[in-house]
């Protein structure tokens, strides 16, 4: 699962990328980055700590997602030239898009010359997404028209239907309706998925606020939510610079420093959990004395498929899964107690894994 970080130049994309991946890619006030940075991030999950308390494992492993920090398009984003080429490819491949918008004022970092305005910059990016999708639709419609000229009667129906769908999506987009908000039949939705439209992807907007302005983060977030929430867009606000510095400290110092800054969920954690949730995947846990671990799988997988995520042998030799729901696990406090209270289940090959299942896979190879 890939999350792309996009935004105007010097909005703080690479800074935030470094914070989420605990990496050290080059951030720059002037020079321009040309290659994407790719890194893996641990997904924060409030449900891990209660499990750790129960199992006291030697090791805790978070679910992981890949972040891709995409440099601004060479032709310059936000100048209505449209997204194309390699840049568009990067965005299309992503499963979710994080838009970073500059909300910090810093004379050392030149802005684009029109002052700092996060909501304007977000509008610009969203407009570019719409524009890119319109381009894809128009090209597709042109190709269908060409194909129709030489199509056999048996093919005409399908092509005409596809043309009608594309035309409907296009009308919707022109009316300001992202494809993710348009009403589609399951068949249409499946067909549309193949095109990897940008406005069909989950979007999280992140206001990058100044490090001495973090008290304003809540207000900025609320304002952006009012403006973009209706379009199904999620919002977070954080200080990229501060978060990057914190991510480079050792965990103890980081914890202490965060506490001294004032309690509450960190903006970065919020951004990361929102992005993970937006991917619409399912998390299950494996728990024992050696490791408590969160795993990510697609919704609707069976127990053997989930086991295959851990190891292919476990899928091949799957016998059964022993399952306790997360809430039952935390409430009962131990496997033995869960068993006693009858919330411990034996599940077979056809079991469909549900959110936050605590699973032990029994297998034989």
Ligand X SMILES: Nc1nc2c(ncn2[C@@H]2O[C@H](COP(=O)(O)OP(=O)(O)O)[C@@H](O)[C@H]2O)c(=O)[nH]1
The contact set with ligand X (CB under 6 A) reads 7, 9-15, 27-29, 104, 106, 109, 208, 210-211, 239-241
Q: How many residues touch Mg ion (CB under 5 A)?
A: 3
Q: Does 298 bind Mg ion (CB under 5 A)?
A: no
For the bound state, the minimum distance from the C-beta of residue 10 to Mg ion, rounded and expressed in Å, comes to 8
Q: Which does 308 bind (CB under 5 to 8 A by kind): ligand X, Mg ion, none?
A: none
Q: Which does 15 bind (CB under 5 to 8 A by kind): Mg ion, ligand X, none?
A: ligand X
For the bound state, the minimum distance from the C-beta of residue 37 to ligand X, rounded and expressed in Å, comes to 9
**C-beta of 109 vs 159, nearer to Mg ion:** 109
> CB of 199 within 8 A of CB of 133?
yes
Dihedral in degrees, nearest 10, Cα atoms 133, 134, 139, 141: 110
Of 118, 116, 90, nearest in space to 6 by CA: 90
Q: Alpha-carbon distance 58 to 49, whole Å?
A: 13
Residue in this structure with the two tokens 């940008």, named with its chain if needed: 198
For the bound state, the minimum distance from the C-beta of residue 7 to ligand X, rounded and expressed in Å, comes to 6
**C-beta of 27 vs 132, nearer to Mg ion:** 27
User: What is the per-residue binding string for Mg ion in 10-49, x denoting contact by CB under 5 A?
Assistant: ---xx------------------x----------------
* Pairing relationship of beta strands 203-209 and 345-347 according to DSSP bridges: unpaired
For the bound state, the minimum distance from the C-beta of residue 293 to ligand X, rounded and expressed in Å, comes to 31
**C-beta of 33 vs 223, nearer to Mg ion:** 33
For the bound state, the minimum distance from the C-beta of residue 105 to Mg ion, rounded and expressed in Å, comes to 19
Q: Alpha-carbon distance 244 to 211, whole Å?
A: 11
**C-beta of 33 vs 298, nearer to Mg ion:** 33
Of 48, 70, 61, nearest in space to 2 by CA: 70
Helix (H) or strand (E) holding 68: strand 64-69
For every residue of 214-280, DSSP letters joined together read GGGHHHHHHHHHHHHGGGT-EEEEE-HHHHHHHHTS-HHHHHHHHHHT-SS--HHHHHHHHHHHHTT
For the bound state, the minimum distance from the C-beta of residue 217 to Mg ion, rounded and expressed in Å, comes to 22
- The residue ranges that bind Mg ion (CB under 5 A) are 13-14, 33
């Amino acid at each position: 699962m890939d999350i792309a970080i996009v935004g105007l130049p010097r909005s703080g994309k690479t800074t935030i990328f470094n914070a989420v991946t605990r990496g050290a890619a080059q951030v720059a006030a002037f020079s321009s980055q040309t290659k994407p940075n790719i890194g893996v991030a641990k997904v924060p999950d409030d449900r891990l700590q209660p499990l750790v308390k129960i199992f006291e494992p030697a090791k805790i492993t978070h679910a992981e997602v890949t972040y891709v920090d995409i440099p601004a398009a060479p032709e310059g984003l936000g100048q209505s030239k449209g997204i194309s080429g390699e840049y568009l490819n990067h965005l299309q491949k992503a499963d979710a898009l994080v838009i970073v918008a500059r909300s910090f004022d810093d004379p050392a970092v030149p802005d684009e010359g029109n002052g700092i305005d996060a909501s304007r910059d977000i509008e610009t990016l969203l407009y570019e997404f719409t524009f890119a999708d319109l381009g894809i639709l128009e090209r597709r419609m042109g190709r269908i028209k060409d194909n129709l000229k030489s199509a056999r009667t048996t093919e005409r129906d399908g092509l005409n239907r596809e043309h009608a769908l594309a035309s409907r999506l296009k009308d919707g987009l022109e009316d300001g309706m992202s494809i993710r908000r348009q009403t589609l039949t399951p068949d249409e939705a499946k067909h549309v998925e193949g095109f990897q439209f940008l406005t069909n992807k989950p979007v999280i907007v992140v206001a990058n606020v100044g490090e001495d302005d973090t008290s304003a983060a809540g207000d900025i977030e609320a304002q952006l939510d009012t403006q973009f929430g209706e379009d199904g867009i999620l919002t977070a606000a954080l200080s990229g610079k501060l978060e990057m510095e914190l991510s480079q400290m050792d965990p103890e110092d980081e914890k202490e420093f965060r506490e001294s800054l004032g309690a509450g969920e960190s903006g970065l954690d919020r951004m990361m959990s929102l992005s993970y949730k937006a991917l619409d995947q399912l998390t299950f846990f494996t728990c024992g004395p050696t490791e408590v671990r969160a795993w990510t799988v697609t919704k609707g997988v069976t127990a053997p498929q989930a086991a295959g995520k851990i190891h292919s042998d476990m899928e091949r030799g799957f016998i059964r899964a022993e399952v306790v729901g997360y809430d039952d696990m935390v409430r009962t406090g131990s496997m033995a107690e869960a068993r006693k209270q009858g919330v411990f289940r034996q599940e077979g090959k056809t079991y469909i894994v549900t959110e936050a299942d605590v699973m032990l896979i029994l297998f034989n190879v």
